[in-house]
Amino acid sequence: MPLFFPSELRLDLKKEPEVEISGKKVLTFALAGNPNSGKTSLFNAITGAHQHVGNWGGVTVEMKEGSSVVDGREFNIVDLPGTYSLSAFSLEEKVARDYIIKESPDAVINVIDATNLERNLYLTVQLLEMGIRPVLAFNMWDEVRKKGLQIDLEQLSKLLDLPIVTTVGKSGTNCRKLLVEAAKMVDEKRTVYRKSCGDLPSEILSAIEKISLHKALHSVNKPQGWLALKLLENDRGVVEEVRGFDRDGSLMKSVAESVLRVKSVLGEDPEGLIAESRYGFVAGALRETLKKPPRNRIEMSDQIDRVLTHPVWAFPVFFFFMWLLFQLTFVLGDYPKKLIELLVEYSGHTVAALMPDSLFRSLIIEGVIGGVGGVIVFLPNILILFFGIAVMEDTGYMARAAFITDKIMHKVGLHGKSFIPMIMGMGCSVPAIMAARTLESENDRRKTILLSPLISCSARLPVYVLFAGALFPGFAGNVIFLFQFVFGTLAFFIMAFIFSKTIFKGEDQPFVMELPPYRLPTLKSVMIHMWQRAEHFLRKMGGVVLVFSIIIWALGKFPQDKEVQNRYETLINSVKSSSELTEQQKNQQVSELEDAMNTELIRKSYIGQMGNAIVPVFKPLGFEWREAVSLLTGFVAKEVVVSSMSVLYGSNENGVVDDDKFNSQIAAHFTPLKGFSFMLFVLLYTPCIVALITVIRELHSVKWSIFSVVYQIALAWIVAFGVYQGGRMIGLE
């Protein structure tokens, strides 16, 4: 008996009106596929840089959208979240399924790892049940050849009645052919699947027929037969949707009776029998079309995993890779960083030479160039960090890192999936917090949201690079590694353990983690992933950092104390006109007097008054009013900590940003112990206002949102206090 009824399970897709651009039809294709099927690489190859990230349906699982043009025809490509099925047990599954049903793309391209057809074609069968006729992209075809697999594509295409295109996502092979094949299907109006697939016991088929006739299903804008099938599978999404139309409960009662009847006759739940039928259909199709070579050797991935996932060696290797990444971040990034410093300084000198002395010139040089330039110089370091993370992800090593830390996650009371937000947090806290929505347990989700901000995001990296270079020049790379990776990770695990023993007691849930095969990443794919992350940093430079640099400049300029200015100008003129001093002595004394004047003017300004008002809170940590102001503005964004210090510390007598002087000022005002304490505070307190808003939105609780802010600030203060005062007690300062 067929698993799929064309008359009942067919999904009639409601097409939107055709969009005409210069006489050319714009088609929308959705990419659906398993995680690790190379779907994202294929999407990048098709769309290149013409893509953006968005959220659909009011959820926070991201889907990318891009465009491509082939033979003058334009295509919109939507990259759905990677999912193993369309049963809506996870948020990714629900988003992918809802998009296909509600948005009605012109065609679905099912991206399949051709080296693992048994697992990947399970999703294909579920698309067929929905009445979707996908174009099958047999991806990683180069690896199929390497493994010696023989696939009769022509015969398999006939059995499934679906077009098959072999692709290699990392190199872009056959991307054009794939789009042409999908467009051809749309043009021939063959996007609805009408063929039966698979066999089910007659008891289940009878139950489907009975349930599909219930009047409540006619109110749902989906095919009745497919809804009946999903109800028998106990699909939570369909159950919740249908329950609203089942006013007297008769439908759910009928479903429960049908499930009991199937179990009494066949001794098994319908859900298991339906899954077996799908796998049976796939196995039958592959039995006639797939030939595997005898397994006479251990594959390279398995050989590498003997070391990289070894119970003993895995952790030293992982820490070595991370240490190497941050060494390269500082050492290699230092060369382009110095070039950008010269360009920023040259820009300041150019403006100073072209514009007359005025408040507006001061605003441009100190507020705009000084504030934004003080942060933009760290772009090379951030790009190298993102490049390294992208390489780890694309090679498949990041999945191994998640695998080897899974046991530790369970020991501190975390779900294995919590590692994913933790790693994402190295880029930005916001997507890390949002990624916690994929966790099924409310306790795990809430705990991960509270812990994710402790992982050091890329916005904190400029602070570490600045202080490490100024205070620990011989060990800068190691110091950056400690703060950007080690200390944040330790804080994450320690607080997770404390939470699991106090406010979040309960057992964690098991998590099955897939290890994809190792792959050689392409430069194009890595560069796209790197740019997607770096773009967020650059947007901050033109937005929040620029705005708050100007605000900080204004607060530091007003009110202007003419008495102080006149007093110091008299002293400076006296030094310049002195006949007893050499020219070098004059320059040195003038520079010292100008520094003293600027310090006194800023201390009496609005920002100085603010700093002096809050400095008692930070005094036990060794911080003065400028550090207090920088930390206060850091609530907006951690990059603003550096831009604030750049405005407060980094200008010469013409107001031009001088990065050498900036570093020397940091070294003059901070001891190594004080700088260490300052970096710890930056690491542990609230990342930024956007992250805080995301936490509030995701927790849906005023109480937990307040707790999130309070515990992070308290933790930062306590740790910084303990390190600073403890260091002083043992004579480190």
116-134 residue pLDDT tens: 898 899 999 999 988 889 9
Q: How many helices (H) and strands (E) does the chain have?
A: 35, 10
In this prediction, residue 105 carries a pLDDT of: 92
Question: What average pLDDT score do residues 661-676 get?
Answer: 87
As a whole number, the mean pLDDT across the chain is 81
In this prediction, residue 98 carries a pLDDT of: 84
Q: Report, at the CATH architecture level, how domain 202-291 is classified.
A: Orthogonal Bundle (1.10)
Burial class (CB in 10 A: 0-12, 13-18, 19+), 653: middle
Q: At what angle are helices 461-471 and 672-684 packed, to 10 degrees?
A: 170
Q: Check whether 71 has a pLDDT greater than 80.
A: yes
Lowest mean pLDDT among 157-161, 242-246, 273-277, 601-605: 601-605
In this prediction, residue 438 carries a pLDDT of: 64
Distance between CA 258 and CA 234 in Å, rounded?
12
In this prediction, residue 715 carries a pLDDT of: 96
In this prediction, residue 383 carries a pLDDT of: 86
Distance between CA 492 and CA 684 in Å, rounded?
10
Backbone CA torsion sign across 120, 207, 95, 188:
positive
In this prediction, residue 507 carries a pLDDT of: 56
Range ranked top by mean pLDDT from 535-539, 605-609, 706-710: 706-710
Distance between CA 629 and CA 614 in Å, rounded?
8
Question: What average pLDDT score do residues 588-593 get?
Answer: 81
- 132-168 pLDDT, tens digit each: 899 999 999 998 988 888 999 999 998 898 999 999 9
In this prediction, residue 14 carries a pLDDT of: 36
Distance between CA 364 and CA 371 in Å, rounded?
10
In this prediction, residue 135 carries a pLDDT of: 96
Q: Check whether 485 has a pLDDT greater than 80.
A: yes
The residue to which tokens 């530091």 are assigned = 556
In this prediction, residue 366 carries a pLDDT of: 76
In this prediction, residue 49 carries a pLDDT of: 58
With H, G, I as helix, E, B as strand and everything else as coil, classify residue 74. Answer: strand
Question: What residues are paired with 55 via a beta bridge?
Answer: 62
Query: Contact, 481 vs 472, CB < 8 A?
Result: no
As a residue count, the chain comes to 733
Q: Check whether 21 has a pLDDT greater than 60.
A: no
Q: At what angle are helices 270-287 and 250-266 packed, to 10 degrees?
A: 60
Q: Which residues contact 118 (CB under 8 A, 6 or more apart)?
A: 279, 282, 283, 286
Lowest mean pLDDT among 273-277, 419-423, 539-543: 539-543
71 vs 713, more confident:
713
Closest among 221, 206, 211, 215 to 248, alpha carbons compared: 215
Q: Check whether 487 has a pLDDT greater than 50.
A: yes
In this prediction, residue 617 carries a pLDDT of: 92
Q: At what angle are helices 583-604 and 606-618 packed, to 10 degrees?
A: 80
Distance between CA 397 and CA 518 in Å, rounded?
7
In angstroms, the Cα distances linking 297 to 359, 432, 589 are 74, 40, 77
pTM of the complete model beyond 0.95: no
Distance between CA 681 and CA 641 in Å, rounded?
12
Residue 51 has phi, psi (to 5 degrees) of: -150, 160
In this prediction, residue 415 carries a pLDDT of: 65
Of all residues in the chain, what percent carry a pLDDT higher than 90? Answer: 20
Q: Check whether 54 has a pLDDT greater than 50.
A: no
Question: What average pLDDT score do residues 651-663 get?
Answer: 57
Band of residue 514 on the pLDDT scale cut at 50, 70, 90: low
* Residue 519 token pair: 């792959």
309 vs 298, more confident:
309
Question: What average pLDDT score do residues 94-113 get?
Answer: 89
Query: Contact, 686 vs 635, CB < 8 A?
Result: yes
Which region holds residue 553: left if phi is over 0, alpha if psi is between -120 and 50, else beta? Answer: alpha
In this prediction, residue 60 carries a pLDDT of: 39
- 540-549 pLDDT, tens digit each: 667 777 787 7
Distance between CA 484 and CA 157 in Å, rounded?
50
Residue 105 has phi, psi (to 5 degrees) of: -65, 155
Lowest mean pLDDT among 462-466, 529-533, 632-636, 666-670: 529-533
Band of residue 196 on the pLDDT scale cut at 50, 70, 90: low
* Rounded (to 5) percent helix, strand, coil in the chain: 65, 10, 25
- At position 362, the amino acid (one-letter code) is S
Closest among 136, 126, 132, 41 to 79, alpha carbons compared: 41
Query: Contact, 545 vs 688, CB < 8 A?
Result: no
In this prediction, residue 6 carries a pLDDT of: 38
Q: Check whether 255 has a pLDDT greater than 80.
A: yes
Lowest mean pLDDT among 68-72, 287-291, 310-314: 310-314
Of all residues in the chain, what percent carry a pLDDT higher than 70? Answer: 87
In this prediction, residue 134 carries a pLDDT of: 94
Q: Check whether 655 has a pLDDT greater than 50.
A: no
Query: Contact, 119 vs 33, CB < 8 A?
Result: no
The residue to which tokens 């310049």 are assigned = 576
Lowest mean pLDDT among 246-255, 313-322, 500-509, 699-708: 500-509
Q: Check whether 521 has a pLDDT greater than 70.
A: yes
720 vs 249, more confident:
720
Lowest mean pLDDT among 102-116, 473-487, 640-654: 640-654
In angstroms, the Cα distances linking 712 to 122, 420, 424, 467, 495 are 44, 21, 19, 22, 10
Distance between CA 600 and CA 512 in Å, rounded?
61
Query: Contact, 504 vs 446, CB < 8 A?
Result: yes
Q: Check whether 608 has a pLDDT greater than 60.
A: yes
- 664's enclosing H/E stretch is helix 659-669
With H, G, I as helix, E, B as strand and everything else as coil, classify residue 1. Answer: coil
**Domain 6-187 in CATH: superfamily?**
P-loop containing nucleotide triphosphate hydrolases (3.40.50.300)
Q: Check whether 532 has a pLDDT greater than 80.
A: no
Q: Check whether 260 has a pLDDT greater than 60.
A: yes
Query: How is residue 706 annotated by DSSP?
Result: H
In this prediction, residue 700 carries a pLDDT of: 83
